[in-house]
Structure 1
Amino acid sequence: MSFLKLENLTVAYGKDAPVLKNLNLSVEKGEFVSLLGPSGCGKTTTLRTIAGFLKPLSGRVLIGGKDYTNVPTHKRNIGVVFQNYALFPHMSVFENVAFGLRMRKIPRQEIEKKVRRALEMVGLAGFEKRLPSELSGGQQQRVAIARAIVIEPDLLLMDEPLSNLDANLRMEMRSEIKQLQKNLGITTVYVTHDQSEAIALSDRVVVMNSGKIEQVATPQEIFSNPKTSFVASFIGFQVLAVGTVTSIEENFAEVLREGKIYRARITGRVQLQDKVILFARPRKMRLTRHETQNCFQVQLISVLYQGETSLLVFRLGERQFSVEQDSAVSLPVGSNVFVHVPPEDLLALKEE
């Protein structure tokens, strides 16, 4: 039995149209699941409904086999880490972390023990007397995490907790969150719009779009085998062209485009004569001056230097896409060349 189960959830804000409609999701005990998607897709609404901040119009929230749909937030043993940390500015680090325990009427000696242990776990031993204003952004985030885990929650919810940190600190905190979650074994639902963050942290990734789930899979599966064109675009594949499927053999299709046949891998539902979009990643394409199978004739329109690599932006018909190459590659803007994509790296997904 799944530890967390969302059954046919429909959620709306006031009289507005539902943000979520008949959403279903299961999370196993101890699992780290990320809700990934663009702003407005419903991921934070899903998290708020699990926490009890929002009441669904219909459907159920089951935790540990019990129906929590109508149970108020303070009676759910859930830890929440907010995007803006939500620390009490007038309280010390110790008092912030102890807050949930005091609300639960835990004895003072037990509070002392639990708070110090939680702060040790997030690397903040010795910071007990400081105010939030005396901490860096990363330290404030650690306090927020300590406050969430100190109550020993059945479920940990995290809403874009790293979005306010700089790039280097985000990378550091990713590793710490992942290790802490595994050490504690807490079932965790994590909201993010950053695909690299979701892939780095998660046991499974839930890609959401317009209030519905597009795909649920392991990070490896999401990264390599997107099932829809939306998922492919969101996780970094680029649209190259559109064509028609003329034949299918196992996991590969032959796609006709402007009189030429391209061989591409199938990851979603595709049938003969379907209109499909051809996708590829910037690092999986190579430049060539000679046309071979799976080549697209393109024109270079700009070069973006990135240090060891450069991003070469090409025009193909009315579309633009980029190819990542070694910076040693020298090609004048305006050059006409061919871009080759191996069949295993060229994805054919049904046009939606």
Structure 2
Amino acid sequence: MPFSTIQRQIIDEQGQAVSFGPIGPGRVAVVTGAASGIGLAAAQVLARQGMKLALCDINLELLERVGKEIVDDVFAGDSSSVILMKVDVSKFEEMVAFREKVLDQFGEVNVLMLNAAVFVGGGTFADNLPVWRKMIDVNLFGVINGTQAFVPFLQNQENDSVVIVTGSKQGITGPPGNAAYNVSKAAVKMLTEQLACELREAHSNCSAHLFVPGWVHTGAGGPESAAGEKPAGAWTAKETVAYMLEKLEKGDFYIVCPDNETSEDMDKLRMAWGASDLLLNRPALSRWHPEYKRKFEEYMREGLNPAAPGRSRSRGRGGDGYLTPSGERADSAYFGGAEVEIRDGGRRTPAE
């Protein structure tokens, strides 16, 4: 859903942000997992837009502490514009109670950010069943419960709204080692895609967006969260939220954040390689397969430096041409490390 009213503002260290459509003074933002990290940064940024906040987290003590800081710093001590509630997002009845409190006090929701998640590392068999259930219950059912509890009401309200679901690059590229987390975030990606499609087909004034952070410094551990002092390669949580809002302004569905170490082009090349495992019938997760490691490295080098000496990307072929990782047509191009030709009404087959 493109946004019709746009007021650009510069994001600074105080958390000021873009104001447009559902985001602005007097509107209402709901954020899960709001006591720390990206959820807290989003709450701080949206508060400085004059938005009312409904924040929840499993850690009520921490939530109340950071919530008081927002009330004092942004709302001059007036807590009437901020709801703080302990919620286990894996429990539907708690999400429903949260929704009822928000609607009773504020009347509507303009931004629903389903951000709460947990991370426990381990492979497919290294993790016991309670770990798997915890990851699925919080990371996936937290989003399902939030969607079921809030979105029907968002669809029926008069004002525009957005649903922002926090995903993960690990749910797209699937690096080995964190099976339960990767599975939960892959499912979140699919769920958000389905939600966005259904809202679009319903001509709803509510839209859904998949927000995929890069390497973020939050002070805590995790697969995409640097602990301790901020490394040079990581973004701050506020930088990540700023990028998210910039892409939301444009109406983007996929909001895949770079960082100081991984560029947008690097992300695109990695995702294209992963998608082409199925297309080219390579081994699962071939990027980490010993027989494909060198091919992947060469593919990345050529993709990031197309002018470098090497295989020509154009061989003068006619017809419809080839499909590049970005979806553009060319005479000849790499798609995930192999040339792919457009033939037979658009089917992609390895070039001869």
Structure with the higher fraction of residues in strand conformation: 1
Q: Fold match, TM over 0.5?
A: no
Structure with the higher fraction of residues in helix conformation: 2
Greater RCO structure (CA 8 Å; 6+ sep): 1
Q: Which has the larger radius of gyration?
A: 1
Q: TM-score, normalised by structure 2?
A: 0.35
Q: TM-score, normalised by structure 1?
A: 0.35
